[in-house]
Amino acid sequence: MYLLIDNSPNDKIILYYCLDTDWIQSQYERDNRSLMEIVENLLLSINKKLPDLQGLAVVVGKGKFTATRIATTLVNTLSFALKIPVVAVDDFNPNLIKEIKASPVGQYVSAQYSAPANIGGVKQ
């Protein structure tokens, strides 16, 4: 099973998963649940567990700073713990599995942002 996390929309979280050859999209309202909880709920709903993951992808370069950091940290953590490959992408594409399989295990992704961080500025 392969999983892509798109945490960039302001109002929802989009998870794409592939069990065989076709990608399936699931959307979740952005609420007070954690991203990890949403991933676990998806896996539960399709009778899968974390060890069933064979590779991960995450959308970077768009969306809010914190949402990007959370998604990137989650996929890197899962990649490390499960010893599976991970890639960063700018959007979903149906040939993603080839890209994931080509990525070496132990190579992690860096968050890329849609704009410079706007934290710690001087208040006027």
pLDDT (tens digit per residue) in 53-65? 999 999 998 888 8
How many Cα atoms are found within 13 Å in the side-chain-facing hemisphere of 11?
0
Location of structure tokens 């490959």: 85
How far apart (Å, rounded) are the C-alpha atoms in residues 66 and 44?
Answer: 26
Q: What is residue 75's predicted lDDT score, i.e. its pLDDT?
A: 97
Radius of gyration of the chain (CA): 15
CA distances from 22 to 1, 69, 86, 96, 101 (A): 11, 28, 19, 11, 16
Q: What is residue 28's predicted lDDT score, i.e. its pLDDT?
A: 95
3-state secondary structure of 18: strand
Q: What is residue 51's predicted lDDT score, i.e. its pLDDT?
A: 98
How far apart (Å, rounded) are the C-alpha atoms in residues 19 and 22?
Answer: 7
Structure tokens at 44: 């539960």
Q: What is residue 104's predicted lDDT score, i.e. its pLDDT?
A: 95
Q: What is residue 50's predicted lDDT score, i.e. its pLDDT?
A: 97
Low-confidence ranges of the chain (pLDDT < 50): none
Asked if residue 62 lies in contact with residue 112, where contact means CB atoms within 8 angstroms, the answer is no
The pTM score is 0.88
The residue type at 13: I
Q: CATH says 2-102 is which class? A: alpha beta
Q: What is the dihedral of CA 114, 17, 37, 89, to 10 degrees?
A: -20
Location of structure tokens 């949402």: 67
Domain map (residue ranges) of the chain: 2-102
